[in-house]
Structure 1
Amino acid sequence: MGLQNNAKKWVRTSIIIMLIGIAMIIAGITIDDYNFYWMIYVGAILFLTFLIAFFMFVNQANRLDRLFRGEELLAHWKFEENERLAKTEEELIQRKAQNKVMLLIIAGFFVVIGALFVIFGFDDIEEALLFILIMVGVLAFISVVALITPGSRYRKMKNAAAEVFVGPYSVWVMGEYVQWKAPLTKITSIIYSKDREDNYTITINYFIWQRYGPQPHTCRVPVPLGHETEAESVASDLARINNVKYINKLIDNE
């Protein structure tokens, strides 16, 4: 599989849903029946929501196209097949560990909140049992997603082009595109490190504001053999350009 501009898929999706929204508005106006006025409101919401999404994804698609053309590019690395497999295995292990920790935190939160509600919030045992079943169902769904996601990412990395593009405000890592110069998104730090197996990595920490507050995210950029010194410079440049904290664990551990 070659280089794919992930954002273009969402541009097309946004256009399709905008057209559906317009069609619903036209249908609601044409039918001119009180019982179908909801189509106008729903259509308007769909259109406006995905109009905003369209412009966001167009911006992402254009930025990624520039990276692929070599514009605004800090680094472009290619991996041998054995390196790609090693990096994807490492990413799978890292994501599994990260998701397990997050899942334990979420499960603990569910248990505490659920217990408080059951003890103090219900007088009827049947209502309490229904609440517990709902909480267990939601937790089970979250658990399934947390367990499936790393494998999905692993397969995507194995099938994508074994390349990495690093720009000042975004990266494309073997099929996954991440940008932090976007609405409600803020980069917080850059870390350059290596593990016990001498795998070098640039870690980009950022958060995305969502309805329940800022949610931390991490993007790990693998470094191919022979590019360790260049990667160290790239990590430093990323931190300088984005005006965030730079942590070089190679120096800190000396």
Structure 2
Amino acid sequence: MESTLDIFVKAIFTENMIFAYFLGMCSYLAVSKTVRTGVGLGLAVVFVLVVTVPMNYLLENYVLKEGALSWLNPEYGVSGSKTIDLSFLSFIMFIAVVASIVQLVEMLVEKFAPALYGALGIFLPLIAVNCSILGGALFMQDRQYSTILDATSFALGSGIGWFIAIVSLAAIREKIRYSNVPPALRGLGITFIVTGLMGIAFMSFMGVEYGKKKQEKTNTISGGAVETSQIINVKQEN
């Protein structure tokens, strides 16, 4: 079982929504022209993920999946005589939660940052259909996290990973404007190339060991060293 910290770190680096799964590429490419708009949309995605994934976790585990309503009546449990399974409503309910939170974010940005609201344009309300937002909820459902803390950690890590990706690309694109890019690659061409190179760079984090895996490897090496020393001692005695 992965720890909460493992889930958080993996969601940022080795399971990055952009570079590992290519989710949310539309707004990622369209809004990453300046760092300012990239930061604004990135923070909005972080907020939406951190709110919607835990809410959908509670919805999944206490309302939708088979036997989830056992807290209302034991007969509604998996082994009860009136088992209720509402999992077929998962897509609709998850999207409804996401759309509600995105509407709230849109109202807040329009109220407190009208300039940013105008810069983001249509892509702010389109967070509701951003693949990374719904993908976070579906990954949470598929991986069956044991606690809401794990689900929240995954949501925060995924949001930060998406934020890092869009801000990094926006910073690079601002510098590329002053570079001598071949005419055929200007615009989305060079942007796709940069995205691919960043994805390769993030793949390097897959070799980093941390948490329980690192401890298990240390124990294995220690155990092997002990066995080797015992064999050497036996040979010397003989």
- Interval containing the TM-score (normalised by the shorter chain): under 0.3
Structure number having the greater helix percentage:
2
- TM-score normalised according to structure 2 size: 0.27
Higher relative contact order (CA 8 A, sep 6+): 2
Higher strand fraction: Structure 1 or Structure 2?
1
Structure 1 length as normaliser, TM-score?
Answer: 0.25
